Amino acid sequence: MARTGLTLDMDYGTPDFELADTLRILYGCRAVIYSTHKHTPEAPRLRLVIPLSRQVSPEEYMAVARKVAEDIDINLFDDTTYEPHRIMYWPSTSSDGEFYFKILPGAPLDPDEILGRYADWRNVSEWPVSDRQKKLVAREMKKQNDPLEKQGLVGAFCRAYYPITEAIAEFLPDVYAPCGGDFPDLTEERYDYIPADSSAGVVIYDGKYLYSHHATDPACGRLLNAFDAVRLHRFGELDDKSGSRDAGILTEEDVTKLPSYKKMIEFISELPKVRGILAEERLARIRDDFSDVPEADDMSDVPDSGGAAKADTVGRADEASKDDVGAEPSLNVNWQKELDVTRNGTVKDTLDNISIIFRNDPLLLPIAYNRHRDGIDVNGRIPWEQVKPGWNDSDHAALQVYLSKYYGIYAPAKAKTALSAVAAERAYHPIQEYLEQLPPWDGIPRADTLLITYLGAEDSLYTRAVTRKTLAAAVARIYEPGIKFDHVLILSGPQGIGKSTLFARLAGKWFSDSLSMTDMKDKAGPEKLQGYWILELGELAGMKKTEVETVKSFISRTDDKYRAAYGLNVESHPRQCIIVGSTNSENGFLRDVTGNRRFWPVDVDGAGEHKTWELTKDLVAQVWAEVMTYY
């Protein structure tokens, strides 16, 4: 594009200012002056057209137009009138308005004479501007929202590439080039628009914006943040093709509908640096609420992504292990860069995204599948206070709140699916891990004489045999779920001597005395077995024949098949526990003379060498270490 005439709009004229006389005095050149539609004698609005002696380039045009305006009085002219793409319109006036028209004779204006008055007309910093334009940038900066505080991907991009010169270097190195070395006297950070003949026309403000004075620059005359500057140059042609070009007059909402905006959002959503910023900000919000979330450098004690929990002694809280197979989870932001995000910067509620979060969020790592309990379990601190152990409806609800607050995700069905899959990846068996972490057996026999030593049972081959078989069965059921064992060791003796305490000490937190005869008649019984190792049946006194049959039938099962509450399918649950019993009855408890082989009664009186409450965790560990050698 080239121009052979200047077209300048004097929109701020005064009644006492004579444009024609001033032009004759200054140049004596040929010119046309006429009034525009809003002209009045009290507020003159005139258009000045000056022919040039040769064609000028867009950059030359702006330099000449601004210098001519400065000679006349640049504050009288519209600040956008110097743009070379602006053309004149036919004169018009309202029916009751004044029409002003004047032709000045003379030769066309010599543009080279005007350009020669600059030290270097290509240096845009020398171009004159009005007092209004000097304030324009400050006004625009105040009008625009701080790009570093914008939400979503736009703000993340501006923060990731702050100062804006980083965005220029990364994405627009063929568009803009630094010019500080060429113009050492510049007081502002400036860039050249590489395709232009002029120089130093791009000004950087506060490290957040650029403003281009280059006529051929798509960004000319506009204060742009890093996002919009890259958008215009990388994808602006998409707007031209669609007929929706962004010329700087669209509202912020309209801009979001442009093809260039949509393409830019798609482009930056894949940038690791942008994803990293969003991830850091998400992690910062989490750390604000959970002060003990480790920093990226504090990773020496991090459990692996298996998340399997270990217990080093019965009854002690499970602890995270480093020994399971799996990649070490990052407590920094690297894994969050894998998350797909919306244009608002929130994480998309896809199954893949939610799975990534469950695999890597350090506060969710304690959630794993407990193969002993046949369900999801929690082995460590999670971001909410649990109502009860295990995994319950309240935990599902709290998990949704957590995902919504810190990741912007609310997708209960997908979260439940992802949780089941990821928890299964961390499947662990707490009792197997306990048994495998036991100290070596010290060689002192304790298992066979356990009832004799602690409860005063008769020292006989029978007592020793049923004690060993019961303990060995407990271990066997852990390693071979569902293995046949249809016997019940029953301790019969006075109340208060520690019968239940013995079983509780042996099984620790995997002991339960809540199993009842009533439970055995429906699926409540099988469900109560899950997650326990030794269960005590304490209602044996005075059992009727039908009740004995119920007990015999229940203890004979090796696999419980049922559909759990809220479950979708009937599932198999091979037994991983043993059932024991106790009674205080002096008259016995077996009324049925047939089938009593399943019950192994042992009389106890509490007169053993030691009391059951003297059975320490270390001694229990030695008992199980001994039994492991038998198994």
pLDDT digits (tens, 9 = 90+) for 475-533: 999 999 999 999 999 999 999 999 999 999 999 999 999 888 888 887 778 888 999 99
CATH 3.40.50.300 fits 450-630, yes or no: yes
pLDDT for res 310: 38
Alpha carbon dihedral 500, 505, 511, 517, in 10-degree steps, equals -10
Full 3-state SS string of 222-251: CEEEHHHHHHHHHHHHHHHHHCCCCCCCCC
Secondary structure letter of residue 341 according to DSSP: B
Three-point CA angle 467, 507, 523, nearest 5°: 95
Q: Locate tokens 């053309």: which residue?
A: 87
**Average pLDDT of 310-325?**
35
pLDDT for res 354: 98
Among 577, 570, 578, 567, CA closest to 375: 567
Q: Locate tokens 């200047």: which residue?
A: 6
Residue 567 has pLDDT above 80, yes or no: no
Pairing assessment for the beta strands 599-603 and 488-492 based on DSSP bridges: parallel
How far is Cα of residue 66 from the mean position of the Cα atoms in its chain? 51
Three-point CA angle 363, 366, 369, nearest 5°: 140
How crowded is residue 284: how many other Cβ atoms within 10 Å of its Cβ? 11
Among 216, 226, 163, CA closest to 192: 216
| Amino acid of residue 217 | D
For 234-262, give one letter per residue: b (16+ CB within 10 A) or e.
Answer: bbbebbeeeebbbebebeeeebeebbbbe
pLDDT digits (tens, 9 = 90+) for 415-461: 999 999 999 999 999 999 999 999 999 999 999 999 999 999 999 99
Q: For all residues of the chain together, what is the average pLDDT?
A: 87
- Token couple for 301: 């004690």
Residues 291, 174: contact at Cβ < 8 Å? no
What Å distances lie between residue 573 and 159, 373, 520, 529, 561, CA to CA? 53, 10, 15, 10, 6
Q: Where are the domains positioned within the chain?
A: 3-117, 133-268, 274-435, 450-630
Select the more confidently predicted residue: 609 or 525: 609
High-pLDDT (> 70) share of the chain, %: 87
Residues 612, 454: contact at Cβ < 8 Å? yes
pLDDT for res 84: 86
What Å distances lie between residue 168 and 59, 141, 174, 452, CA to CA? 22, 19, 9, 84
Select the more confidently predicted residue: 90 or 201: 201
**Average pLDDT of 620-625?**
98
pLDDT digits (tens, 9 = 90+) for 22-67: 999 999 999 999 999 899 999 999 999 999 999 999 889 999 999 9
Whether the bond into 163 is cis, omega within 30 of 0: yes
- Name the most confidently modeled range: 135-144, 333-342, 359-368, 593-602: 359-368
- Token couple for 279: 């991830």
Asked whether the whole model's pTM tops 0.75, one would answer no
Q: How confident is the model at residue 140 (pLDDT cuts 50, 70, 90)?
A: confident
High-pLDDT (> 90) share of the chain, %: 65
- Number of C-alpha atoms within 13 angstroms, CB side, residue 126? 18
pLDDT for res 585: 67
pLDDT digits (tens, 9 = 90+) for 579-596: 999 988 665 555 554 457
pLDDT digits (tens, 9 = 90+) for 236-274: 999 987 766 665 667 888 899 999 999 999 999 999 999
How crowded is residue 414: how many other Cβ atoms within 10 Å of its Cβ? 18
For 42-61, give one letter per residue: b (16+ CB within 10 A) or e.
Answer: eebbbbbebebeeebbbbbb
User: What architecture is domain 3-117?
Assistant: 2-Layer Sandwich (3.30)
pLDDT digits (tens, 9 = 90+) for 370-421: 999 999 999 999 999 999 988 999 999 999 999 999 999 999 999 999 999 9
Beta bridge partners of 102: 33
Name residues whose C-beta falls within 8 Å of residue 322's C-beta, 6 or more positions apart in sequence: 302, 303, 304
pLDDT for res 320: 35
